[in-house]
Every structure is written in C-alpha cells, then in structure tokens.
A = this chain, B = another copy of it.
Amino acid sequence: MLTRSERATGDCVTLMHYARKGIITEEMERVAERESVPIETIVKGLAAGRLIIPANIHHKNLDPMGIGIELLAKINANIGNSAVTSKIQEELKKLHTAIHHGADTVMDLSTGGDLNEIRQANIDASPVPVGTVPIYQAAVDVDKVEEITPDQLLDVIEFQAEQGVDYITVHCGLLLAHLVHVKKRITGVVSRGGSILAHWMLHHRQENPLYTHYDRILEICRKHDVTLSLGDGLRPGCLADASDEAQFAELRTLGELTERAWQKEVQVMIEGPGHVPFDQIQMNVEMEQEICHGAPFYVLGPLVTDIAPGYDHITSAIGATMAGYAGAALLCYVTPKEHLGLPNVEDVRQGVIAYKIAAHAADIARGRPGARDRDDALSRARFQFNWDEQFRLSLDPETAKRMHDETLPDEYFKTTEFCSMCGPKFCSMQSAYRIDRIDEVLKEIEEESSMEQAEAKNT
C-alpha cells in the first residue's frame, strides 16, 4: 500500500494513475473502509473514471472520501465570503459548522478579503476535500474582468494546486458557439464563472481560455492530483431555461473534455443544474451519465420551483433527492439565503441538514446496503419512548431536543409516553394501546363463534 508521500513523486501523482496500474494507495483503502465496499470496487471505479477521490497531495490532514454512483451519495457545502461581507473567523466557523453537521466536501467561494490566506486557512483546518473556482481569484486580481489573461489564470490554478486544493471548478466546456443559445433564455448566464468567461470571450472575440489551454490545466492536475470539476457555465437559472440547447451543447463539450482528462489520468466530475422541473431531473442525470461516459455527476440542487426565495434549501433538497435517486453522486447544497444574500453560519447549518436529508433519502431509495439502519434504530427508540436516544440518533439532536422541550422542558417528560403534540391520552404509541394480545383475542373470538355455532346446533 502506497502512502500519500510515497505517491507524491513522479510526473503523474493522481489516484486514477495508480488505480490504472493496479497500485493500491492509502486513500483507496480508507475509502473502501469508510464505505464498507471491497477495495476492488474503489480501484476499478477510479480506473474507469466513474469514481473519484479528490485528494491533493499537499492537503495533509485530509481524511479521504470517495464520490461515485457505487458509493453513498455525498453533499457539498459552499462557504466563503464576498466583497460585501468578509471575515476570516466567520468563514472558519462556517467550515466547522458545515463539517460538524456532515458536509462531505466544502468549496471556498470567497471573492473578498485576502483570498490566499482564507483558502490556506480552510485547507489547513479541513479534514474534507476543499474545492475552489480559480477564476474568482483571477477576477479579483484585475480591475475589469476582460483584463484577465490566460497565463494569469493558469498561474492562479497552479498556485491553488500547490496550496492543496482538492478540486477546482473550471468552466472549460463553455464555447463561443454555445452563447447563441443563451439569447432565448429568461435569466441568461447564471454561473458566476460562466458569466465572467462569456464577457471575456465577447470582449476579446476569442474562444474560452480554459478550453484553449485545457492541456496545461491537465498538466497541473497530474502534478498535484487536483480533481477537475468541469463547470456548467450555462446551467439554467430558472425553470424556463432548463434542459435547453445551451445547457446540453455545453454538456456535450464536457463529455469530450472528460475523455481528454482520462487520457491524461486526471480525475473528473461534471457539474450540473441548477433550476429544473421535477419531471426533468431523472432525464438530466441519465443524459449526463451517457454523454460524460459515467463520470460522477455533481448537481446544484436542482431547485424545482423559482418562487420560494428564502426557502431554496427546501426547493432544492426536493430536486437533490430526485437527482441522488437517479444517480447523481455529489449534491451541492443551497442555503435559505440563495438569491438573497451571503449565507451566515445558521444558513450553512440549514443547508447542510436539508442536504443530509436529501442524500440519505436517496441512498435509502437506491437500496444501498445498511442505508436504513439509523432510521430503524431511531424508530425503535421512538416507539419505546426513549426520548434521549431518539434525539441522539437525529440529524440535529440539539434542534430536536429544543423543539421537544419548548412545551415540556421538565426532565420528567423525557420518560413519559407522550409529547405535547398528542398529550397523555392521544399518543398512538403508548403501551396501553399496544396490540400485543391480538393473536389471543382473535383466537378467543374464533372459539366463541364455534361455541355459538355448536350451541345453535344443539338447540
């Protein structure tokens, strides 16, 4: 078994590279252990590209995790500040909150403050893979986004790779020819990276530099094992724009770029929408799996309606459940603040929990072994009125306990056979209503009825 430092030598240090050689690394072993799957599943999945382990060789305190259709569904939490709201301690609190509640990966999307410092602080503090969108930094470093140069962009990517970023969103598949289709849309280009690139491309009358310099990006990824998260710059920003020609034209380019990455043994996942009507979600996942040759699908929600700003953790958790059920491997959370403002710590918590629900519900629906064990354990505790155990097994024990205690705070009520919802007489689960004696009763009824029949005959 190869350790992290042992694999960090040579031209290509990616886990895909080692998997294809049949060499098992500590990251692969750890993921097999965490997922309770055979190591072969991990090695074969990595080699084929349908499974990734984002694990930059410079991210020292990473606890490796895997993303792929054969593993449990995972969730990503976006953190990071903006130019309007920016404090490093607040960002680290968001990181802690996201991981505490179960985020499997985090993206630092900061666009304000000292980006390099914030990013390094996040990587150093994070046991989960950290992702970024390098073009944000490139845009911060110039006055106007058209001043970004390809070399500058590549330098940013290399710098972040050396810092230990595990995966980067790069909108390499956005081409000039795709932009024609955007004109029909209600909300145009809604990806931030996509809109910066589109502006740059139109200004310079040149093709997307992330596309023209794709091979240089792949070289950087090979050297540090940065996983590519091929961004969907043309993801739909409202239901009306979903599943349109712009979106699928870009997806087809991402399919080609996936093959080129795999030729260089670079790990890849594909980003997906966005805003999608509930009935189109399964089709979107299936199309990605087909066009991108089974590369893991990383979806943002999708939101199943546009009319609920303030509640988009819910509108999108609905879509994310469907996406996970259909085969999406990584679900990017959306917080209640989406479309309205920068999420704070509480928004991060709300987003993560909504997505833990979505991922878990999808795992159960896909019939993953053992996925329902915790549900069954909690339900048993519920039926036994073991309130403390019910809280302990909850996704958010503090909230569950607080809600219970709102009306019945006394310690006495942690052992009673009711809560304030039903009161002492109306709880269906209380032992007085148990039907343990049903067999006995049915037998007695049967006997009585036979006796009556016998008596009727005798008279």
Interface residue ranges, A against B (CB under 8 Å): 82-85, 111-112, 136, 139-140, 145, 176-177, 179-180, 182-183, 186-192, 194-196, 198-199, 202, 205, 237-240, 277-279, 304-311, 313-315, 317-318, 321-322, 325, 336-344, 353-354, 356-358, 360-362, 364-367, 372, 374-376, 378-380, 382-383, 390-391, 393-396, 399-400, 402-404, 406-408, 419-429, 432-439, 441-442, 444-445, 448
Contacts and interface: CB of A to CB of B under 8 A. Distances in A.
A112 B394 contact: no
20 contacts: A82-B421, A85-B407, A176-B442, A180-B438, A183-B438, A198-B433, A205-B441, A239-B372, A239-B375, A278-B321, A306-B378, A309-B390, A310-B395, A311-B354, A311-B357, A314-B314, A318-B357, A338-B421, A340-B421, A344-B406
A422 B111 contact: yes
A422 to B, nearest CB: 6
Nearest to A145: B425
Nearest to A336: B403
B394 A308 contact: yes
A34 to B, nearest CB: 19
Contact of A408 (B84, B177, B237): B84
Given A205-B445, A433-B199, A445-B176, A395 B341 contact: no
Contacts of A322: 278, 322
A278 B317 CA distance: 13
Given A340-B400, A375-B305, A425 B83 contact: yes
B341 A406 contact: yes
A332 B141 CA distance: 52
**Which A-B residue pairs are the 4 nearest by beta carbons?**
A238-B379, A195-B428, A83-B423, A278-B365
Given A379-B186, A426-B136, A444-B205, A364 B82 contact: no
Contacts of A375: 238-240, 305-307
B83 A372 contact: no
Contacts of A179: 435, 438, 442
Contacts of A404: 340-341
A403 B435 contact: no
